[in-house]
Amino acid sequence: MRVVTCSLSLMLTMAFSASANAQVELPRPVPAAKLSQQVGLTEIAIDYECPAAKSRKIWGGVVPFGELWTIGPGGASKVRFTKDVTVADRVVPAGTYWLLAIPTATTWTVMLNKSPDPIASARDYKPELDVVRLKVTPKATPRRERLMFTFSDLTDDRASLDLEWDSLRVSVPIQVNTTQQVLSSINGLDGAWRSFANAARYMLEKKKDYDAGLKYIDQALALKDDWYSMWVKGALLAAKGDFGSARDWAVKAHDLAAQVGNGAPLEADLDKSIADWTRKSGRPAKELQPLTKVDADSPKKVSLTKSEDSATPTTPPAFTAKPTAERATAPASPVDDPPVLRRARLRHR
């Protein structure tokens, strides 16, 4: 009987020991969150916590008015910028900052602070380390149970970082310097024709600054006679309403593409541009040399490439930065085409 009793005692001891060592994974009461957004060439990211309202009064209750709020029970939220940005007309260098606020019923003061140490409470906050202080007005929004950050009003040049909780939204406008960054990158490539063509395309599509685009495309053409650059120049002139000159440049592009032989994949769209700009200019139509020819031994169309070996039209090479100071006639096409060319690029991928 004693042996049985000892065995039972040992089994119970082992069972309780296993139960004590077992770990049950439960959700955190205040989960952590991360959010990032690419804005132009700049990445904006924020690490924060998501407390729940739980039927409590948030504004003027859980979050007292007129006092420093770290925007999270565990401490200040962390914001990162991969490039310089502008907040409230203040340039904020690339880096990591703490996001804090002083809410009131009508306006908020929002701060970006560059403290090297975490800010867990008002005791850790040093106002002299603020890089930005801005006043914002809260707005009503559909109710959110948990605090959440979102991005809105996204363009290549700006975004709004929005804090939403309960029935309130506070937005922090952030400007990025995409145009300056693009042009700085372009100008740092020793004047390569492709970089200037890229700048012209950017001005055509994104900034709608056609005069600046013409300046860049002329610099590209001064370095290299490229049929695609000629087409971009035609598109810029058409955007300015000069359809006669646009048509002339498109015809030059067509003639050069026929000469060097790799424009066949975009022939239909180039011809369409010529026809459209011819009609709008009121000039007589011009008979164009086909960008493909029929082989004497076969009815199959082949591209007018230098080797003339392939029966499949070749797609123009990708637009990559490759500095050169020599004029040449070998064509290349950008990765992202102007609007008049985009459909053809997608069709011939």
**pLDDT per residue of the chain (349 residues) written in tens, 0 to 9:** 444 445 555 555 555 555 555 678 888 889 999 999 999 999 999 999 999 999 999 999 999 999 999 998 888 999 999 999 999 999 999 999 999 999 999 999 999 999 999 999 999 999 999 999 999 999 999 999 999 999 999 999 999 999 999 999 999 999 999 988 887 776 665 557 888 888 898 889 887 889 999 999 998 898 888 888 999 999 999 999 999 999 999 999 888 888 887 777 778 888 898 999 999 988 777 666 666 543 434 333 333 333 333 332 333 333 333 333 333 333 344 434 444 454 444 444 4
User: Which among 248, 250, 244, 219 is positioned nearest to 232, based on CA atoms?
Assistant: 250
- 3-class DSSP state of 95: strand
Q: For 206, which DSSP code?
A: I
Q: Is 340 exposed, middle or buried (0-12, 13-18, 19+ CB in 10 A)?
A: buried
Q: Token pair of 221, please?
A: 């053409």
Close Cβ partners of 232 (under 8 Å, ≥ 6 residues apart):
197, 200, 201, 204, 213, 217, 338
CA distances from 47 to 26, 80, 99 (A): 21, 9, 10
**What is the dihedral sign for C-alpha 286, 289, 290, 296?**
positive
Q: Report the alpha-carbon distance of residue 287 to residue 303 in Å, rounded.
A: 19
- 3-class DSSP state of 268: helix
Contact by Cβ (8 Å): 217, 223? no
Give the β-pairing of 85-87 and 130-136. Answer: unpaired
User: Which among 43, 57, 136 is positioned nearest to 96, based on CA atoms?
Assistant: 43
Answer whether 0.75 is exceeded by the pTM: no
Q: Report the alpha-carbon distance of residue 285 to residue 98 in Å, rounded.
A: 64
Which pLDDT belongs to residue 16? 53
Contact by Cβ (8 Å): 46, 34? yes
The structure tokens 């010529």 sit at: 274
Q: Token pair of 124, please?
A: 């850790």
Contact by Cβ (8 Å): 273, 231? yes
Which pLDDT belongs to residue 10? 55
- 3-class DSSP state of 47: strand
Q: What is the dihedral of CA 259, 344, 334, 256, to 10 degrees?
A: 10
